[in-house]
Amino acid sequence: MVAHDLPLTRIDITIIFEDKSKGSSTLQNSDFQEDELAHLIEEAKSIMEINRAGKDFSKDLLRLEIEGPQVYPLSLLDLPGLPNSGKSQENIEVLQSLAGRHLDNKDSIFLVVINPNKTLSEQAALTKCRLFDPHGERTIPIITKPDLMRPGTVEERNYIKSAMNRESMNHFSLGWHVLCNRREEEPSSLSRDATEDQFFRDSARSCIPLVDRGVANLRKKLSHALYQHLRSTLPLVVEDIDWKLHFRESDMEGLGSPRSGPEEMRSFLISVASDFQRVVQDGIYGRYHDSFFLSQHGEITKLRAQIRDLSQAFDYVIRSRGPEYDIGPPNTDKQERRKPPKHLIEFIEHYDRDEFEETKWITKEEFISNVVERAIFNRGVDFPGSHTNDFVRRLLQHQVSCWNIIALRHTELVFEVTKAFVDRALQFVFGPRCFNGGVEAVLTTCLDPFFDEKKVVIEAKINELFKPYLQSFAFPLDLDGYREFSQRSGDRLAERVFNLMTADVPVPSDDRKKEKVARKMIREAVTAEKDREMRESGMHDVIDIMSIYYESSRRTFTENVINLAIESCLIRELPNILTPSMVCGMSNERLQELVAESEETICRQKALEAEIELLRKGLAICRRYQPRPVTST
């Protein structure tokens, strides 16, 4: 029952069904008369099916809201008596469920009706409340029908002692209370109050303090108890309201200022564009101090870190899978030569595609054996032991044939990472705003066309960068190539001489003859090296020239793809997706399309404004009455 002190008399009776699918049922009555309450309750009981056979109780809740003049403002929850052996099993289960559900509420004050015809140890309701209020801080035992106790008996003295709260086993912080029930012959509550007052004056119960007897003092006691209980819980209430207020204000801030006209829309979108450029620039340069980079998306927001990892993975893949043949010395572990760093394995796995085959590992001798017949078949008017430039170019073309495919795959991966980053950045700068598809509109009309255009540009740029190697007119500077070639030829000859010099060859003991033999051996080593190259059709020189040009070209191509294609054509252009100058040049229709507020957002703003105002007022009231701790020095 909820009572309100209002000028007009009115009663609402609402049945709140335990079965939520039934909703609720309401009985209303204006011009309410007190004697009509019993009739309304009986009508509600029939709806709750309490009167049917075997059902004396219900889990449904009957709520009475009474308004009227001289009505004491109070909220009461009347629970039925606790079950005993005389009730059916169904009723016992209902009563236990109701008691457990409502007594467990920490904000409730228990008013326990005590029947003086039983001893205190037999009061089941008091024992039940002790389970939920073991320290007796929220319980007020109320002794009713004290006139039924025989004067001068031990039971009367025990109850009077308990009512004065002097019994340690039954001591309660809020005290006890004694009431006289209204008799049937008493026509009104006023006559009941007079009879009660006279009863306490003339009997032995006059020793009970005034504050602990009579219905008028019970109202005051309840009011004071509720007031103190509310004050003790106010710090938690204030904390809860403060948290809700902060949450609602954050929601309101997320929605932004109202944007009813073109100027408000333009101002809002300019602010968004400025924030977007700042966040994207920070991502490009690896400055991760903004809250955007500390969000739950993790690695997606660390743009520069991901671009660097992809660039290193691209360099590794084009080293290990770019050439048709990986030519190396004998007795070399192929897996060791191609083992990637651990932090790149995840990125390298994304390059596994069927378009480019695994590089074939081969020794120099095996490679010579494979191509010598091809070299003889393609001989022209060149001198014995030498080969035309066309033959070297054709070998190079085979070696670089997968470069553009790997580069295009690298572009796809960079696009995926970059697009995900920009998506998150736009969602972040717009915030959780519920306007008419603003983020989606920017993504579909600004972001998607930007990436579609850049994809065409970068693919054309990669084809342009690959063209010199595909057509074999990209060579390093003559001086650099000559130095590398001379170095390799000298190393090969030195190795041959060293092997002959360290061989176990018998020589005369005369020092002069030993010197002549040594010179002869060197001459023979040089001659043998030249003869071997003639027999192998000069393949060592061909391999050296091809390897020198390949390594130089690979480095140049890799750097050009990273710097001229990815960085110049894509990464450095990301801040231009949405700029303040673009917003200034937008038409009103375009602004309306992008950032006009939806009906949902407008309704949400109004609801939040009303809720924030209500929470602020409630917070001010609670802070006014909450206990103030003494400031310590």
Per-residue exposure over 417-434, b if at least 16 CB sit within 10 Å of its own CB, e if not = bbbbbbebbbbbbbeebb
For 161-197, what is each residue's pLDDT tens digit?
888 888 888 888 889 998 887 666 555 666 677 777 7
* Residue 69 CB-density burial (10 A; 0-12 exposed, 13-18 middle, 19+ buried): exposed
| Alpha carbon distance 118, 149 (integer Å) | 10
Mean pLDDT to the nearest integer, 13-37 = 65
Judge whether residue 494 has pLDDT over 70. no
pLDDT at residue 408, as a whole number: 93
Rounded alpha-carbon distances, angstroms, from residue 87 to 79, 81, 83:
16, 11, 7
In this prediction, what percent of the chain has a pLDDT beyond 90? 17
**pLDDT: which is higher, 255 or 519:** 255
User: In three state form, how does the secondary structure of 131-167 look?
Assistant: HHCCCCCCEEEEECCHHHCCCCCHHHHHHHHHHCCCC
66: helix, coil or strand? strand
For 469-490, what is each residue's pLDDT tens digit?
888 776 665 545 556 555 665 6
pTM of the predicted protein model: 0.55
Mean pLDDT to the nearest integer, 504-522 = 53
Judge whether residue 434 has pLDDT over 50. no
Mean pLDDT to the nearest integer, 298-318 = 89
Mean pLDDT to the nearest integer, 51-68 = 68
For 583-606, what is each residue's pLDDT tens digit?
899 898 888 888 777 677 778 888
Q: Which two tokens stand for residue 333?
A: 């572990």
Judge whether residue 576 has pLDDT over 50. yes
Q: Which two tokens stand for residue 320?
A: 């290990």
Most confident of 242-246, 392-396, 528-532, 540-544: 242-246
Radius of gyration of the chain from its Cα atoms, rounded to whole angstroms: 47
**pLDDT: which is higher, 348 or 354:** 348
| Alpha carbon distance 418, 414 (integer Å) | 6
In this prediction, what percent of the chain has a pLDDT beyond 70? 65
pLDDT at residue 417, as a whole number: 94
pLDDT at residue 496, as a whole number: 61
Judge whether residue 505 has pLDDT over 70. no
Judge whether residue 435 has pLDDT over 60. no
Q: Which two tokens stand for residue 451?
A: 């990436």
Q: Count the neighbouring beta carbons within 10 Å of the beta carbon of residue 159.
A: 24
For 74-133, what is each residue's pLDDT tens digit?
677 776 665 554 555 555 666 666 666 667 777 778 888 888 878 877 888 888 888 888
User: In three state form, how does the secondary structure of 372-397 look?
Assistant: HHHHHHCCCCCCCCCCCHHHHHHHHH
Q: Count the neighbouring beta carbons within 10 Å of the beta carbon of residue 435.
A: 21
Judge whether residue 451 has pLDDT over 90. yes
Instruction: Report yes or no: 301 and 283 within 8 Å, Cβ to Cβ.
Output: yes
Judge whether residue 410 has pLDDT over 80. yes
pLDDT at residue 537, as a whole number: 45
Judge whether residue 388 has pLDDT over 60. no
Judge whether residue 456 has pLDDT over 50. yes
DSSP assignment letter at 629: P
Q: Count the neighbouring beta carbons within 10 Å of the beta carbon of residue 517.
A: 15
Of the listed ranges 126-135, 242-251, 469-478, 508-517, the least confidently predicted one is: 508-517
Instruction: Report yes or no: 200 and 206 within 8 Å, Cβ to Cβ.
Output: yes
The residue extents of the domains of the chain are 1-75, 237-260+599-625, 268-474+538-594
pLDDT at residue 379, as a whole number: 62
**pLDDT: which is higher, 266 or 519:** 266
Q: Which two tokens stand for residue 500?
A: 């002959």
Average pLDDT over the chain, rounded to an integer: 76
Judge whether residue 613 has pLDDT over 80. yes
